[in-house]
Amino acid sequence: MISKLLLLVLALFSSSVTGQPSNNCYTFTVGQGTGCQYLCNLCSTQLGTNNYYFTDNVCTYDSGLGYCTGNPIAYKQYTCCAAGEEKDEL
């Protein structure tokens, strides 16, 4: 029983992403080795839209390449928000 509980606790703490959605925004922290494409997919899933932006522009959609680019820093907090009409779609 204790070993199962220990494994569950370790699994929770070793997760590479933690966060919580709030007011059409999602704030989260990522672990080492997490790239922008993952961040973009995460925001799209959490916000329920492909029309969002990062408040610090850590990642942007490159239409020429067809995917998200940028350089996220491990263990830094990021926020993405659903965009209104004034923002470009990612």
| Span 11-45, pLDDT tens digits | 333 334 555 556 799 999 999 999 999 999 999 99
On whether residue 1 sits in a domain, the answer given is: no
Q: For residue 72, give Cα distances in angstroms to 1, 3, 4, 22.
A: 38, 35, 34, 21
Domain span holding position 64? 15-82
Question: What's phi and psi for 40, nearest 5 deg?
Answer: -65, -45
Q: Are 69 and 60 in contact (CB under 8 A)?
A: yes
Q: What is the dihedral of CA 57, 89, 40, 82, to 10 degrees?
A: 80
Question: Helices marked H in the chain — which ranges?
Answer: 2-13, 36-47
On whether residue 73 sits in a domain, the answer given is: yes
On whether residue 87 sits in a domain, the answer given is: no
| The predicted structure's pLDDT at residue 28 | 95
Whole-prediction pTM = 0.69
- Residue 9 scores a pLDDT above 50: no
**How many domains, the chain?**
1
